[in-house]
Structure 1
């Protein structure tokens, strides 16, 4: 019931934004020619509407593919083996705690931005300035009761949009971060395989060769599981992340166009700066953690080669016989490592820079046309 109510509010708000744009920029009645060509008005409406679009798209993905996402989380629980190994356990705990703090800070920034968007219209109204909200409202809100109703409504919905976007972004980034952590654990397992094989042989009474072979097979299965998980992340979220990249560039452009016309001392300027920080963080999270997965994946072959696979304390005959094939495969992985992508666009720092450059180019074109 609560989810249905929230979805209804989201769709209603989206409809009101769309009708506002339609009435101001397509129809002739209700707006004069100057306003229809006013890019400031367009920027004010569009960056909010585009944020709303990305939020709805992500929510659809999370609802339609809920079972696949739940299985994805369960797979990470299954990969969190050997809880008695302190180093590996600490890596997983640190990753989880770090993503929790990141998500809280990210969502808190969005909530604070929405609060500022509520405060400065209220202060403007207190000062006698007429406030026009960037959405279609079916009644006049010149008097205080109606104004407060619209103000609280916009605060509620924009806060929902902001928190929904940030929490879903942090979740997807957290999944990529866990893939990176699992690759780090895999590297440690390869590098310490000989030592662990001897410890296991002493504990279980197995031959060292048998213990090493069992641990080696376990590492190979772990690597396959990480690869499958990475591909599943791309299959589930690739489309919506690609949409985020495309729309995120437009949002940055529209927000930058809006912010240059504001007074630095105003609350609206501060709120827009925080909004830009949220959008930049949103894009950077995907690109940074996708890049980390690719870098860590490329280092797996180095970890295999760095094993103590020769000498009396080596990994054993069976593992040594399999090493040429494994190193050959891992060398191919080094040339083509795991590279999470938004369908066909890699999640990398180069992609982040490209989005920023494209946004600035379009912003410069808009400024040029207004001269």
Structure 2
């Protein structure tokens, strides 16, 4: 009865919430069985992306061109522009590899990944809850950031200043008077909020797959440590347990390779452009009062960007550490009374697990805490250089 309960655990819950949100924003097409609904969704997707994402991207690009040469205006225009550029890479991953991503999601429920005892079930259930909690917290942080951007023009202005727009942008009409000002004000907050939620949904979907790999390695460690040979059991039973664990490990590696292939462009873009985004946002923070809402909004935005990168790097680091501990876990099983054939097979498996599993972005960036540290240090270095150049021009 308990075995049936273990099988009923839906491991796709690691990414279900994220997938539903990505569907809503039109970034990732559901699996339709009705051609009429598929056509309707296509036009919904086209209209949604055109009005919310691509029009926002074009206004930011035009603003960057218009402000070329002015450091303050360029940095003000760049951080959202670069965010949209990275989002394009993520959109490419989800749109171009839609069928393979669906196959990846469904493979989470494969028999080999299911828990075999209560301990393993608790490990997976805990990780699923954590994945959902992280997604919700990021979505709330995005919403709070957009609210801060929306209210900052109202709360930060002085008696001599008029109300400014929440964000910079270029538009083919006047935005300093009604109704253009009101339209752009609402559009900027709405588009930034929706784009932010969509971007975070894609990021946490990727992190969910990495958390799945980490959780499966924890399950495999438990399975290896609990292998035992008793007097009442035959030699075949413990050998079958080892073979099952070897197959489990092989499937984890294949799943990790597929995750790397599908999302490598988005992860690489986030790492490279993330350095620029954090640098530009820090520079913008240095131009405003620490007590202003604009400073608070930029701080929240920068924190979200850094935490998204940290999430990937942290769980990528967990994958490295847990896979590195598989050799020790295999040694901890009750092998002393096991048959010689089992001991030989166990040694072969232990030799393979001495090479830890690593997730890469474009074959260059390792998803690890060392990479996150390098990104943070680079952002600060570029900010220091940019700040010196700006102070030199002002002086």
TM-score by length of 2: 0.83
Counterparts of 2:242 and 2:311, CA distance in 1: 33
1:130-145 equivalence runs, <5 A: 130-132=163-165, 133-145=167-179
Counterparts of 1:129 and 1:80, CA distance in 2: 63
Counterparts of 1:271 and 1:124, CA distance in 2: 12
1:325-336 equivalence runs, <5 A: 325-331=348-354, 333=355
- Contact 2:278 / 2:379 at 8 angstroms: preserved in 1? yes
Q: Please identify, of 211-220 and 119-128, the stretch whose mean Cα deviation from structure 2 is larger.
A: 119-128
- Contact 1:88 / 1:185 at 8 angstroms: preserved in 2? yes
Counterparts of 1:356 and 1:163, CA distance in 2: 24
1:362 matched to 2:382? The reply is yes
> Which sections of structure 1, spanning at least 5 residues, go unmatched?
26-35
Q: Please identify, of 63-72 and 246-255, the stretch whose mean Cα deviation from structure 2 is larger.
A: 63-72
1:19 matched to 2:62? The reply is yes
1:286 matched to 2:312? The reply is yes
1:339-350 equivalence runs, <5 A: 339-343=358-362, 344-350=364-370
CA RMSD in angstroms comes to 1.9
Give the match for residue 248 of structure 2. 222
Give the match for residue 135 of structure 2. 103
Counterparts of 2:116 and 2:325, CA distance in 1: 25
1:149 matched to 2:192? The reply is no
Counterparts of 1:286 and 1:327, CA distance in 2: 27
- Contact 2:153 / 2:163 at 8 angstroms: preserved in 1? no
Counterparts of 1:98 and 1:125, CA distance in 2: 40
Give the match for residue 264 of structure 1. 290
How many residues of Structure 1 are paired with residues of Structure 2 in the alignment?
Answer: 345
Match of 2:238 among 212, 226, 238: 212
- Contact 2:82 / 2:277 at 8 angstroms: preserved in 1? yes
Measured after TM superposition, the shift of residue 56 of structure 1 is 2.0
Measured after TM superposition, the shift of residue 81 of structure 1 is 4.9
Measured after TM superposition, the shift of residue 82 of structure 1 is 5.1
Mark the structure with the bigger radius of gyration.
1
SS in 1 for 2:379: helix
Give the match for residue 328 of structure 2. 302
TM-score by length of 1: 0.88
- Contact 2:214 / 2:319 at 8 angstroms: preserved in 1? yes
Measured after TM superposition, the shift of residue 22 of structure 1 is 1.3
> Which sections of structure 2, spanning at least 5 residues, go unmatched?
1-42
Match of 1:275 among 287, 301, 307: 301
Q: Please identify, of 185-194 and 1-10, the stretch whose mean Cα deviation from structure 2 is larger.
A: 1-10
Give the match for residue 247 of structure 1. 273
Measured after TM superposition, the shift of residue 271 of structure 1 is 0.6
Give the match for residue 88 of structure 2. 56
SS in 1 for 2:179: helix
Counterparts of 1:85 and 1:212, CA distance in 2: 16
- Contact 1:212 / 1:316 at 8 angstroms: preserved in 2? no
- Sort the Cα spacing of 1:151 and 1:124 in 2 relative to 1 into closer, same or farther, 3 A: farther
Match of 2:212 among 163, 178, 197: 178
* Per-residue deviation, residues 173-215 of structure 1 (Å, max 9, x unmatched): 1111110110111111111011xx65xx97xxxx521111111
Give the match for residue 5 of structure 1. 47
Give the match for residue 94 of structure 1. 126
